[in-house]
Amino acid sequence: MAARGSLHDLSADAFNYVWDNSLEPALEVESGDEVLLHVRDASDEQIHEDSGVEDVLNLDFTHVNPVSGPVFVRGARPGDVLEVELLELSPQGWGWTAIIPGFGLLADEYPEPWLRISRVEPETGRVRFSEQVTLPYRPFPGTLGVAPDEPGEHSIVPPSRFGGNMDTKHLNPGVKLYLPVGVEGALFSLGDTHAAQGDGEVCGTAIETQMDVTLRLSVRRDFSVQTPQYDLPGGAVAAHEQSPYHVCTGVAPDLMAAIKQAVRETIAFLGHRYGLDRSEAYAVASVAVDLRIHEVVDAPNWVVGAFIPESIFEGGV
């Protein structure tokens, strides 16, 4: 077993709204050290536990998706790999999900804002989305990455080969993520923590919540990566798939068109089977439904499935 490194507490006020390799490090650590980050939610505290839809309309988009950092890892240099081992994620007791006008997979079809405040219960392993819907609590950071090698400011919103806003629901505690290092020290940052999410995050938000995140940062030179890769412990994928499912498909010659069709069918199904209105169904698809590509070889049409976990309507197992 590798020796445990020192634990460093990153200041809560060390965060930024862009990727930029000229930013001064907020913390310097040795390879193998652990870091505790105090991560702000994706709204940067613009949405509160008692918020209404007016707060969604009034969001200042120059202050969203803050990332804690950057952390300079001594010895990391371009061409190396930064191993990020996620150790512990501790949330606050509530989270939010919003439909933000102009944002999301079906933005043109949802021009009105919508907001839901959920109860986050790590002690029970549940997120209380509504009286009807209970989600499994599966915390992860939506955004984590290293500074790009290109100079200047880069938006936090799109991911890149250096990581960033990947919104990958499988990056839970116990997972090791591998990032290509673009600049000296790597300049690692993390944000956009989620208590639950479906693969796809189709409305643009998950169960957004503040979290304290503990992780270990290590420099690796025994292999290389050009884009993010990660290792899952045994049983991790199965843990996400205990529910019975209803699957809605999309079939189209364009993959994004097939995805949209599958999501529209999901929204219609949730309305018919469970009585959800269109906005709530869209949000449930974002926080709970997993998109999967079924085939990309039988030209000219591709098939996508949207997996609806029916257990979320039975107590959130």
Domain range annotation of the chain? 7-236, 239-313
94-112 mean pLDDT: 98
Question: Which fold is adopted by the domain 239-313?
Answer: Endonuclease I-creI (3.10.28)
Is-contact 220 83, C-beta < 8 A? yes
What is the percentage of the chain residues whose pLDDT exceeds 90? 94
Question: Which fold is adopted by the domain 7-236?
Answer: Jelly Rolls (2.60.120)
The per-residue b/e assignment along 248-283, b for 16 or more CB within 10 angstroms, e otherwise, is: bebebeeeeebbbbbbbebbebbeeebebebbbbbb
69-95 mean pLDDT: 98
Give the pLDDT score at 242.
85
Q: Place 19 in a pLDDT band, splitting at 50, 70 and 90.
A: very high
Q: Tokens for 303? A: 């098939």
Give the pLDDT score at 288.
98
Q: 255-274 and 278-288 helices cross at what angle (nearest 10)?
A: 120
User: Among residues 269, 213, 219, 264, which one has the least CA distance to residue 39?
Assistant: 213
Matching fold, domains 7-236 and 239-313: no
